[in-house]
A and B are shown apart, each in its own frame.
Chain A
Amino acid sequence: MNLILDPADVQPADRPRIGGKGYTLAILTRQGFTIPDTVLITTDAYRQYLQKSGLQERIQLELHRKDFSDMRWEEVWDCTARIRSLFLKKPLSDQLEASLRETLQRRFANQPVAVRSSAPEEDDACASFAGLHESFVNVRGIDDILRHIRLVWASLWSDAALLYRQEIGLTIEHSTMAVVVQAAVFGHCSGVAFTRSPTNEAQAVIEAVHGLNQGLVDGTVEPDRWTIDRRSRKVLSHRPVERRLWAAVQDRGIALGRLPDKLVSHPPLEQSQVTAVYELACRAEAFFDAPQDVEWTFRNDRLILLQSRPITTSSSAHPEDKRGWYLSLHRSFDNLKLLRQRIETELIPEMIRCAAELAGMDLATLTDADLAAEVHRRLEINHNWVNVYWSEFIPFAHGMRLFGQVYNQAMAPDDPYEFVDLLVHSDLASVDRNQRLSQLAGEVAGDPKLAGLLRTGDLKGLPAGFRQQIDAFIETYGDLSCTMTGGTNCAEDLQPLIHVILQYATVLKHPPENSRQETTAERVERFLDAYGDGDREKGLELLELARASYRLRDDDNIHLGRIEAQLLAAVQEANRRISESADEPETDGGRQVLQAAVAEIHLLQEPTAAGSDEKHPLSALRARQLTGQPAGPGVARGRARVIRRHSDLPGFKNGELLICDAVDPNMTFVVPLAAGVVERRGGMLIHGAIIAREYGLPCVTGIPDATSLIQTGDTVTVDGYLGIVTVHGD
């Protein structure tokens, strides 16, 4: 078994063990092309690692926790985060490490290297995995090289790679990975050459940037572009760009930076260098007898070939190829920073302003026709904000995931979600709302007379101070009537809010504060230390971005809920008028206009989760133990309260287990009353899981038929460590 190969020793039969990228480099070496010093870690090494560490079956258990097709993308991400964490924690066996270390030490003792993926499936599937698996540049020291080999192996199980493999029909279980370790070459200019232009078969294209080509490849640095006539080999055009950025080497890794002033006005390549690059690419094309996509770099005026692959395997050859879409699931740090700025400085303030403007309007003074127009306008406004939610707010959630990946890489914690503890207590709007409820409940708990007034509904007898606090709450958060009735009764009604306050009074629960904050601060320090002194500022920036992302996953829903409540208020007013004038003769056609406006809106149809309140007969099939995703550590056993519709909320009792389709952000006020949370919707970083974590509640998400298989009144155990829900029955 050859675990590590020198390119000079590679035989054609080795191709399935070293992947297309590794094999191409071996062939080019033997043909006299100048490529960096390279060794190839075969798939045998990967298999041996999996077998010795026990990860083979562990990964399968993880992937088969539930049917892959039943998993939402968030669940796939969670699943792959746990798998990646396993690779980070499990060291190589002594024997495997010794086998690799000896060669790596001899070849790259004090030299920075690139550690690249080379998946054999790329050849089998005639599909391109470019960008789906990870590669690392500027890795120093044998220990770090060995660690990055594990990270490349782990990238075989990234969410994008898993989804793509399933899409193109590759067997996930039999996937394997080879690794290319190359001496890093930090050229002064770099780029790619397409020996045949994707848009014009008679032409070739060369793209070049100052510095390293990582910026070009991931699209963050715009390249100068030359077009060449394939037959005459003459340069037809040069399209210069505004050169502002470059990718440059750092102590560890590489980073995007401002291009030095002296280079801004200079194209990366001279005319003679353009010709030299094209000739190199043509040699590769002639040798492989197919148009090539060649990566190259100039170092000390020496042209070095980094990689060559046939253009036919690129996504452009497959119009149905969805690799680009899967890659777009991940956003870069720079992209997320820009998105955050737009959300925080433009979108959220605009949402708040919009909701305030709508709330300030006295609907009762509008004519029927004007009210109908207002219903339409609010419907349009709500629709626009829902679109913004999907196009801007949801992608920003990747900020949390990006931080999680970096944190786990630096810390290799036992719990792959430890990073969430660094994000909690970020002043979530819903937690703030619940704290205000707790304050009101605190007064009720200490004043039996006040509690009695609330229970009997004698609201006129409430003390003025307490009534003022209630009014202040309603002004900020509404009276909860829309939420608790599913939008069927949004007219002013204090009863739902009073009910919640009375329930809160039976238990005053707050998110834990001081003890955990100190631990959080210490954890932040440990993370920053592990992340690296030189990168401390970048680590803090990442954490700050992740906290904003975490906060927004809660706040955006609250803001959206306020706008939706204003739409519902207009509909409610319209319904009131229609109902009150039902017995009166129609005079001006206003009622018809209102009826038409309301008929277009289906929001009054209360959304309902699957399942029935009726008890299953004893002989029917019953669920005993259901597997989902562990989303909040802890175990709770108690009485289930299934929320199939919002109007089930008033029945929620302190200490019950919340079983629902998804914890709607507008109903999170029941979470402090719950002993545990079970959701159909899966994911560790979804809203319900975030809120459960804030309150330290056991939480399991991704139970496909939670609201059908569990009945209110069932005794249930929620195991938030393992993601298991056990139904004990009545």
Chain B
Amino acid sequence: MPIDDTEVIRARLQQLFATQQLAVVATSSSGHPYTSLVAFVASTDLRRLFFVTSRATRKYANLKGDRRVSMLINSSTNKNSDFHQAVAVTVVGVAEEDTGEKRQATLAAYVTKHPYLEEFALSPSCALICVQVRSYVLVRNFQHVMEWHPDP
């Protein structure tokens, strides 16, 4: 088993993000947590994660009030073997709607990963949300936990 240096962690995350379609994102409203399932894509440097949501959703409203978010991405398959085989990563970060000049390029990457969501992603009623990652908490082998800060 390779030692968990930064490059190994980075490779594990990249592999996980390339193979997983969905993430759980946690927002909050008046201090109360609220979770949602979203299709996501990660930037190549792993500093940012992106998802798309309709501006009419609760999570969008919550993000407007409190930018702090957490996300969970994992490789479980609903089998017993998940306990020793699955990898899970908890993301802690800050989110905001991406309206910058790189928005189109990010959306293109998002649609490349999720081609069936093209209409949804490009709809004027939807927002591209960028999560600036503060830290990753990577869990494997049931209880082996490593924390990584991409921008220490």
Contacts and interface: CB of A to CB of B under 8 A. Distances in A.
**A and B form one complex:** yes
Interface of A: 53-58, 60-61, 625, 633, 635, 637, 717, 719, 721-722, 724, 726, 728
B118 A721 contact: no
28 contacts: A54-B115, A54-B116, A54-B118, A55-B116, A56-B116, A57-B115, A58-B115, A60-B116, A61-B116, A625-B57, A633-B124, A635-B56, A635-B124, A635-B125, A717-B56, A719-B54, A719-B56, A719-B125, A721-B125, A722-B119, A722-B120, A722-B123, A722-B125, A724-B54, A724-B56, A724-B125, A726-B54, A726-B56
B124 A721 contact: yes
A58 B122 CA distance: 14
Contacts of A726: 54, 56-57
Given A721-B123, A722-B120, A637 B115 contact: no
A677 to B, nearest CB: 16
Interface string B88-118: 0000000000000000000000000011101
A57 B116 contact: yes
Contacts of A625: 56-57
Nearest to A728: B56
Contact of B118 (A56, A58, A633, A635): A58
Nearest to B114: A54
Contacts of B56: 625, 635, 637, 717, 719, 724, 726, 728
A12 B44 CA distance: 49
Interface in B12-71: 54-57
A173 B115 CA distance: 18
A220 to B, nearest CB: 38
Nearest to A726: B56
A379 B56 CA distance: 48
Contact of A722 (B54, B114, B116): B54
Interface in B126-140: 126
A728 to B, nearest CB: 8
Contacts of B114: 54
Contacts of B115: 53-55, 57-58
A717 B123 CA distance: 15
Q: Return the 4 tightest CB-CB contacts between A and B, nearest first.
A: A54-B115, A57-B116, A717-B56, A726-B56
Contacts of A717: 56
Given A54-B115, A625-B57, A726-B56, 10 more contacts: A57-B115, A61-B116, A625-B56, A635-B55, A719-B54, A721-B123, A722-B119, A722-B123, A722-B126, A724-B125
A275 to B, nearest CB: 57
A61 B57 CA distance: 20
A46 to B, nearest CB: 17
A214 B90 CA distance: 63
Contacts of B119: 722
Residue from A54, A60, A633, A726 having most chain B Cβ neighbours under 10 A: A54
A634 to B, nearest CB: 8
B1 to A, nearest CB: 35
Residue from A56, A60, A722, A728 having most chain B Cβ neighbours under 10 A: A722
Residue from B56, B57, B120 having most chain A Cβ neighbours under 10 A: B56
A64 to B, nearest CB: 11
A625 B119 CA distance: 18
B123 A58 contact: no
Contacts of A721: 123-125
Contacts of A724: 54, 56, 125
Nearest to A56: B116
A719 B55 CA distance: 10
A360 B106 CA distance: 67
A445 B103 CA distance: 45
A721 B114 CA distance: 19
A628 B122 CA distance: 18
Contacts of A61: 116
B22 to A, nearest CB: 13
A248 B125 CA distance: 49
B122 to A, nearest CB: 9
A60 B116 CA distance: 9
A635 B126 CA distance: 10
A719 B57 CA distance: 11
Contacts of B124: 633, 635, 721
Nearest to A633: B124
Nearest to A82: B119
A55 B115 CA distance: 8
A417 to B, nearest CB: 13
A58 B116 contact: yes
A700 to B, nearest CB: 11
Contacts of B118: 54, 58
Residue from B55, B118, B120, B125 having most chain A Cβ neighbours under 10 A: B125
A721 B120 CA distance: 9
A54 B57 CA distance: 26
Nearest to A718: B56
Nearest to A724: B54
Contacts of A635: 55-56, 124-125
B125 to A, nearest CB: 5
B39 to A, nearest CB: 11
A56 B55 CA distance: 27
B121 to A, nearest CB: 11
Nearest to B120: A722
Contacts of B55: 635
Nearest to B112: A54
A487 to B, nearest CB: 37
Contacts of A54: 114-116, 118
B55 to A, nearest CB: 8
Nearest to A720: B125
A155 B152 CA distance: 55
Nearest to A54: B115
A635 B124 CA distance: 9
Contacts of B57: 625, 726
Nearest to A89: B118
A51 to B, nearest CB: 10
A418 B123 CA distance: 15
B128 to A, nearest CB: 15
A721 B56 CA distance: 13
B65 to A, nearest CB: 15
Contacts of A60: 116
B104 to A, nearest CB: 15
Contacts of A637: 56
Contacts of A728: 56
B90 to A, nearest CB: 27
A633 B124 CA distance: 9
A144 B120 CA distance: 30
A717 B55 CA distance: 9
